[in-house]
Structure 1
């Protein structure tokens, strides 16, 4: 039964990120709730499903594939603040290339987070997945974090292709001139940096979210974050 619950949780989490767009549910809910309302609803459902997947993975039978030491645990602790800041910089920021961004307010001369990477949330998911994959050698967690890593890589390709198809080639080239998919790859093309000013409020929100998550990790996930 624990394996069945884990499988069901994984299937529902992945389906929730593909089926709404394929069946037109996303469009209908966006029209009814507005883009921001849909984003809030989708984020809440995603977090609940993610929590279920993590809890189900912890309850699955333990099958060790490799040992993980203090170095892996330190790797997670060092990467997670960056992951949290990437999420804070990406969600709702002027970025017409990512599903978590907004099309309005984007300046191709000062592309903001898109100058760092056009897909900050998916890169955050990839870094989170790889760090936790390294630090967890059990079969269920390898399936869990390996699936999320693959999901984020596939998502980058799909989102990039979908957003490019919505624009002409000339428009895509103009808007992406000082951006890149790979983090910091566009740095040589920046003029005075990707930001008009560094969004310190978003950085602070990201670090605060990381600190809260770090302190609640043991209570919510059941595993202390310290090595």
Structure 2
């Protein structure tokens, strides 16, 4: 178990260090392609360490009982996470775009009305759902690491974008929110405007990902716990 804690900390910590304070000096020495090679090597090495440490953890008792109520909550959380993830893949101002400066700042609709970081919150919600229904100490360590990587990473991304695209990003921040539904609650955005692929694609991913637990993990997750497969 201590090895898993160290491995997750190494995976998350090296990502933050290489993505932010160490990126510029390394790029200055070895160039962008060299940096990407170093980044990929470190990422795969630490991820491999996480996998090996996870495999070495003995079977653990859950920290609390898990019944149908928690499974229902986690299932709905994963549906929201799936919609956010699929919706974030198209038209996401946070993703790299060399032509971003020439484009108008988009309206906050669909998943972007919910949060300006739908992809990151999808991973954060994934972590929460798995802690709820698989509450072993090892799972909590892994899920918390993923949540920190996603949600702290989103905040750091805001800081970086303010430097790279000061006017554009501040306007985008004024229309949206970091926290889910905060812009809607404040009246800066309106709920709705989801594109067909946001909802349909999200449902497909949700159904497929939860069904995949049956052959991969040996137990049913999501709605498959109740409807069968």
Q: Normalised by the size of structure 1, how large is the TM-score?
A: 0.70
1:4-28 deviation digits (Å, cap 9, x = unpaired): 7745753564256335435549979
Q: Which runs of 5+ in 1 are unaligned?
A: 33-37
The one of 139, 142, 149 equivalent to 2:140 is 142
The answer to whether structure 1 residue 220 and structure 2 residue 219 are counterparts is no
Q: Trace 1:1-227 onto structure 2 (pairs within 5 A).
A: 3=1, 6-7=4-5, 10-11=8-9, 13-14=11-12, 17-18=15-16, 20-22=18-20, 23-24=22-23, 49=47, 53=51, 56=54, 59-95=57-93, 98=94, 100=95, 102=97, 104=100, 107-108=104-105, 110-112=107-109, 113-168=111-166, 170-187=167-184, 188-190=187-189, 195=193, 198-225=194-221, 226=225
Q: Which runs of 5+ in 2 are unaligned?
A: none
The answer as to whether partners of 1:21 and 1:27 remain within 8 angstroms in 2 is: no
Q: Normalised by the size of structure 2, how large is the TM-score?
A: 0.69
The answer as to whether partners of 2:86 and 2:197 remain within 8 angstroms in 1 is: no
Return the alpha-carbon distance in structure 2 between the equivalents of residues 82 and 204 of structure 1: 12
Q: Greater Rg, structure 1 or structure 2?
A: 2
Shift of 1:106: 5.7
Return the alpha-carbon distance in structure 1 between the equivalents of residues 53 and 211 of structure 2: 18
The answer as to whether partners of 1:94 and 1:106 remain within 8 angstroms in 2 is: no
Question: In the comparison of the two structures, how many residue pairs are matched?
Answer: 208
Q: 1:55 to 1:6 in 2, by over 3 A?
A: closer
1:75-130 deviation digits (Å, cap 9, x = unpaired): 121211211110011124231xx3x4646386435234433211111111111111
